[in-house]
Amino acid sequence: MSTSNDNHGQHTPGIKPEDVGKVAVLMGGLSKEREISLLSGGAVLDALNASGVDAHGIDVGADVMTQLEQGDYDRAFIILHGRGGEDGEIQRQLEAIDLPYTGSGVTGSAQTMDKLKTKQLWQALNLPTPAYAVLNSEDDCVKALETPGLPLIIKPVNEGSSLGMSKVNSAEELPEAWRMASTFDDTVIAERWIDGAEYTAAILGRDVLPLIRLETPREFYDYEAKYSADSTRYRCPCGLDTVVEAELQALALKAFDCTGASGWGRVDFMLDEEQNPWLIEVNTVPGMTDHSLVPMAAKAAGLSFEDLVLRILQSSFEQKLNKESA
């Protein structure tokens, strides 16, 4: 398997399906990414069952904690995208009933869900991320035209799957883009547009899987490009020099670790025309559909989809051990 560097940690031993116990696959939920979560959750559930794990799907609603307690589950596989799943909320509830779960904890989830807080942290650590401005009014839009300046990518701070995002090329487009993004979240950022190639680094335990280069004829890698467009192309191997790829994998792991994220996830970044990297965001519960990036990277690293979900499930054991040793 391709890793970022041997000194980032050794491969952890695999778990045996018979040692896992009863697993709740938490999917669906109430976020705007519900339908993608159901697809991801269905794929995960099928793979776990095919591997011999006693796994059961739960479409998360207001009664989820009651279902979990009455169902006598041993651990939870979180495949809830967006709010309620990646923001620390479900993690907080699971910790309250002492049920081990996959992926990042409360703090890491909350930190990475908030694109603004993540960028501020990266800036404080001198990690490269595009300049930005916070938009709360049309006056802020005017200021953003000066710093960071056009072109811009407008983003709601607490949404995933590129929901509410748009590229702005002119001053006239900015107020409407801000208003549209603000229907998804109270806080919106205008980020400097980076001309260049987009990449993603999937992280599994302490391993950074082979990088994927994303190519789309659309203006950017938006919701349609991610989930439905047949025109999106995924390059893995990504085409970078081996040494450069290893350096970028190390940067991605550092960007992931500093946010408190753990277990598994994905770091998205750009390379500008001078080949300088720019960190964009961290996803702590990435998609697991047939269009999704983590399964592609895992396949390139020699892992089947079933192997991948078992490795992710293993993080629920490590999360419990970390909690006990704290």
Tell me the pTM.
0.90
Active site residue 287: yes
Regarding whether 294 and 212 lie in a shared domain, the answer is: yes
Regarding whether 122 and 50 lie in a shared domain, the answer is: no
CA 249/CA 8 separation, integer angstroms: 11
Regarding whether 168 and 19 lie in a shared domain, the answer is: no
> What is the Rg, in whole angstroms, of the alpha carbon atoms belonging to the chain?
19
- What CATH number does the domain containing 249 carry? 3.30.470.20
pLDDT along the chain (326 residues), means of 10: 38 72 96 92 97 97 95 97 93 96 96 96 98 95 94 87 83 94 92 95 97 80 56 90 98 98 97 97 92 94 95 86 51
CA 314/CA 303 separation, integer angstroms: 15
Regarding whether 142 and 234 lie in a shared domain, the answer is: no
Residue whose C-alpha is closest to residue 238's, from 301, 161, 193: 301
Residue 161 has a pLDDT of 55
Alpha helices in the chain (DSSP H): 34-50, 64-71, 89-96, 106-113, 115-124, 138-144, 174-182, 223-227, 242-258, 293-300, 305-325
Q: Of 192, 206, 266, 311, which is the active-site residue?
A: 266
Q: Of 41, 108, 287, 315, which is the active-site residue?
A: 287
Q: Of 37, 51, 161, 316, which is the active-site residue?
A: 161
Residue whose C-alpha is closest to residue 153's, from 139, 140, 164: 164
Q: Are 79 and 25 in contact (CB under 8 A)?
A: yes
Split into its structural domains, the chain has a count of 3
298: Cβ–Cβ under 8 A, 6 or more apart, which residues? Answer: 202, 204, 209, 304, 305, 307, 308
Q: Of 86, 87, 159, 281, which is the active-site residue?
A: 281
Regarding whether 87 and 15 lie in a shared domain, the answer is: yes
State the residue range of the domain holding 41: 6-102
Active site residue 4: no
Q: Of 109, 158, 162, 283, which is the active-site residue?
A: 283
Active site residue 227: yes
Is residue 186 in a domain? yes
Residue 223 has a pLDDT of 53
Q: For helices 293-300 and 305-325, give the axis angle rounded to 10 degrees.
A: 100
Regarding whether 231 and 160 lie in a shared domain, the answer is: no
274: Cβ–Cβ under 8 A, 6 or more apart, which residues? Answer: none
What 3-state DSSP class applies to 208? strand
Regarding whether 153 and 62 lie in a shared domain, the answer is: no
Active site residue 268: yes
